[in-house]
């Protein structure tokens, strides 16, 4: 595994410790690497009004976008049990993936690598608008 991917996985594991998940007890951390080499991390943040909760992956992506990045080249996700991204997060990742065929998604637990996918494998028939911004 490339050392840059090891760093990405470590970032996901570290940020998971900040997850706010008092309702589900399912703490998640995510990290995304952008085309310019920066890493952005996010954790899930739940709310008493459950529907207002946000997943770790989207928190990480939105942080990257807010910092001026637009293209994501790799993702790491750390969950208690090796869970993969939910459908909503797959679609959001697709919006900003530099290339879904090469965008790697590492799925890990705190102490174990569980899986390595490409984003194209996780969302093979994602939603696209014809007038989507050019990549
Ligand atoms: Zn999600």
Q: How far is the centre of ligand 1, averaged over its atoms, from the C-alpha of 75 (Å)?
A: 13
Active site positions, annotated: 57
Q: How far is the centre of ligand 1, averaged over its atoms, from the C-alpha of 86 (Å)?
A: 4
Domains of the chain, each with CATH number or no CATH: 4-122 (3.40.140.10)
β-sheet bridge partners, residue 39: 33
Contacts of 24 (CB under 8 A, 6+ apart): 46
Q: How far is the centre of ligand 1, averaged over its atoms, from the C-alpha of 57 (Å)?
A: 6
What residues does the ion ligand 1 have nearby, CB within 5 Å? 55, 86, 89
pTM: 0.95
pLDDT digits (tens, 9 = 90+) for 82-125: 999 999 999 999 999 999 999 999 999 999 999 999 999 999 99
């Amino acid at each position: 595994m490339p050392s840059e991917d090891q760093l990405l996985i470590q970032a996901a594991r570290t940020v998971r410790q900040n997850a706010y998940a008092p309702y589900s007890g399912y703490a998640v951390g995510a990290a995304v690497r952008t085309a310019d080499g920066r890493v952005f991390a996010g954790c899930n943040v739940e709310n008493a009004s459950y529907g207002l909760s946000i997943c770790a992956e989207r928190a990480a992506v939105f942080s990257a976008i807010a910092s001026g990045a637009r293209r994501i080249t790799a993702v790491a996700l750390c969950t208690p049990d090796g869970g993969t991204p939910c459908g909503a997060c797959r679609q959001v990742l697709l919006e900003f993936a530099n290339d879904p065929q090469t965008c790697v998604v590492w799925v890990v637990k705190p102490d174990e690598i569980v899986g390595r996918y490409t984003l194209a494998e996780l969302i093979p028939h994602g939603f696209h608008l014809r007038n989507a911004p050019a990549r």
